[in-house]
């Protein structure tokens, strides 16, 4: 069985780059995902998108919303494939309690930033996050441009 090109050596499956621009990311958590067999096959083929995903807490459990896992054409005909179904996240009770407290009492959002392989398991990196205002986004862009310009100056001055 040959590996596809979508499966890279770093283990990263999908990234949510927009989350770093839209939110102040604070506390990081690693969660497992309850997946069906066809979803794992599609993830191995690289047919996943987590760009607009977020996490909700319902009945003391965390669920991932908005993740798109496109079914493969060779999936079984007897399986109903829903690309945007709500997927349960597997977290420890202590982590769930912290997420529930921060999201309900302190107004934090829970955002997914990356999906990756950890050995043979699919893991999701989630953060407690506060939304940025538009002036905060401009400050972030300005700081990133300054760091880039500073590195260019240092590179040319050392030559």
**In this predicted model, what pLDDT tens digit does every residue of 65-118 receive, in sequence order?**
989 988 887 766 667 788 888 999 999 999 999 999 888 888 788 999 999 999
* Joined tokens for residue 3: 């590996």
The predicted-structure confidence for 127-156, as pLDDT tens digits, reads as follows 998 887 777 778 888 888 889 998 988 888
CA–CA dist 42, 83 (Å, integer): 10
- pTM, two decimal places: 0.74
By residue count, the chain amounts to: 159
- Of the chain, the end-to-end C-alpha distance in Å amounts to 49
Give the model's pLDDT for residue 1.
Answer: 38
CA–CA dist 122, 95 (Å, integer): 18
Q: Is 56 helix (H, G, I), strand (E, B) or coil?
A: strand
Give the model's pLDDT for residue 4.
Answer: 41
CA–CA dist 22, 26 (Å, integer): 13
Domains and CATH numbers, the chain: 12-132 (2.40.280.10)
φ, ψ of residue 10 to 5 degrees: the values are -75, -20
The predicted-structure confidence for 66-81, as pLDDT tens digits, reads as follows 899 888 877 666 677 8
């Amino acid at each position: 069985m040959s590996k596809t090109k979508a499966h890279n050596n770093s283990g990263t499956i999908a990234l949510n780059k927009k989350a770093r621009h839209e939110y102040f990311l604070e506390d990081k958590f690693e969660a497992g995902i309850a997946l069906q067999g066809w979803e794992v096959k599609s993830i191995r083929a690289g047919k996943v998108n987590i760009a607009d995903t977020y996490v909700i807490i319902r009945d003391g459990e965390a669920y991932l919303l908005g993740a798109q896992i496109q079914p493969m054409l060779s999936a079984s005909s007897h399986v109903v494939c829903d690309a945007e179904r709500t997927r349960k996240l597997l977290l420890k009770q202590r982590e769930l309690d912290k997420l529930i407290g921060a999201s309900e009492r302190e107004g934090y959002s829970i955002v997914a930033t990356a999906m990756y392989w950890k050995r043979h398991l699919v893991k999701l990196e989630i953060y407690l996050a506060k939304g940025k205002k538009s002036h905060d986004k401009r400050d972030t862009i300005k700081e990133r441009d300054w760091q880039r310009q500073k590195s260019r100056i240092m590179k040319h001055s050392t030559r």
